[in-house]
């Protein structure tokens, strides 16, 4: 993946603004969605794939049993609602987390590992959706929407096998999760799904280099970005409302310059634990 290195907060802000300009999408606002990586060595692979082995065969078992035992938290009537709920709470899924807000993505890119370079990734979801199979493009056109809802996805593919059969070529779809709680709302959450559980987003992006931009944020710039975000109130207290977010913010605030542990992961998580936040909020 080609990544441009930025030299300052201003440099990054200008670069993101240029990349986010609406370009003939028919929508008034940017069509970019973002992910932040706290370490440049982290990757855009699903939590399902991290199970290793024949992880694709485990997907239906994970979803079936999650629905069975989480029945009291029924999020909606579609499999996409259940996938979103599972992703939100750390279930291994094929989904990845994104956000409409570059500032939210930058929070999760800069809240840990201050001595390591970070990465911000932006993808043009309108351009990505032009490559969808015809039934999915038709559903978007019918609604005049930029992204799918879970109901719109279910109208085209009521389950994962039918979703995977829509095309022989892998495709990437972006959808908005139901508003499960304040975290989803405050983080302007977006989810993505690959049409094959074994095909990773970073592979697909490598095959479509014109649809995305990525910026490397060196450690000194990372510290500057973190300071700007804190001044703007883009912190754990807002993005992770509740005692978990408050505790995470206080720990970071009172240990300046420390390097926290982290696990291999990606952008941002809407879940509750600090470990998942470090991995990256969006399904890393």
Counting the structural domains of the chain, the total is: 1
3-state SS, residue 6: coil
Q: Is the pTM of this model over 0.85?
A: yes
pLDDT digits (tens, 9 = 90+) for 72-107: 777 888 999 999 999 999 999 999 999 999 999 999
Q: Domain containing 206: what range?
A: 4-281
3-state SS, residue 255: coil
Indicate the range of 28-37, 42-51, 230-239, 251-260 predicted with least confidence.
Answer: 251-260
Backbone angles phi, psi at 255, to 5 degrees: -130, 60
- Which pLDDT score is estimated for 164? 97
- More reliable by pLDDT, 180 or 278: 180
pLDDT digits (tens, 9 = 90+) for 128-167: 999 999 999 999 999 999 999 999 999 999 999 999 999 9
What's the chain's Rg over C-alpha atoms?
18
What is the distance between the alpha carbons of residues 107 and 219, in angstroms, rounded to a whole number?
Answer: 14
Q: Which two tokens stand for residue 1?
A: 């993946």
């Amino acid at each position: 993946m080609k990544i441009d290195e930025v030299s300052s907060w201003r440099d990054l802000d200008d670069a993101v603004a240029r990349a986010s300009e609406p370009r003939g999408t028919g929508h008034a606002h940017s069509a970019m969605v973002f992910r932040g990586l706290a370490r440049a060595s982290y990757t855009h692979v699903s939590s399902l794939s991290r199970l290793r082995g024949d992880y694709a065969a485990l997907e239906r078992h994970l979803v079936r049993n999650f629905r069975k035992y989480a029945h009291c938290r029924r999020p909606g009537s579609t499999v996409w609602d259940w996938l979103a709920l599972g992703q939100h709470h750390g279930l291994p899924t094929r989904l990845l987390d994104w956000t409409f807000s570059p500032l939210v993505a930058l929070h999760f890119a800069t809240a840990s590992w201050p001595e390591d370079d970070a990465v911000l990734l932006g993808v043009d979801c309108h351009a990505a959706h032009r490559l969808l199979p015809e039934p999915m493009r038709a559903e978007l056109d019918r609604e005049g929407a930029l992204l799918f809802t879970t109901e719109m996805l279910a109208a085209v593919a009521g389950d994962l096998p039918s979703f995977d059969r829509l095309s022989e070529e892998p495709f990437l779809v972006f959808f908005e999760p139901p508003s499960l709680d304040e975290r989803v709302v405050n983080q302007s959450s977006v989810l993505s799904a690959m049409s094959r559980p074994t095909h990773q987003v970073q592979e697909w992006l490598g095959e479509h280099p014109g649809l995305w931009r990525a910026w490397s944020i060196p450690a000194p710039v990372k510290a500057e970005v973190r300071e700007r975000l804190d001044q703007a109130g883009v912190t754990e207290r807002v993005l992770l409302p509740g005692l978990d977010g408050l505790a995470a913010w206080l720990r970071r605030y009172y240990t300046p310059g420390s390097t926290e542990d982290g696990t291999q992961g990606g952008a941002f998580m809407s879940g509750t634990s600090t470990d998942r936040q470090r991995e990256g909020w969006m399904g890393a």
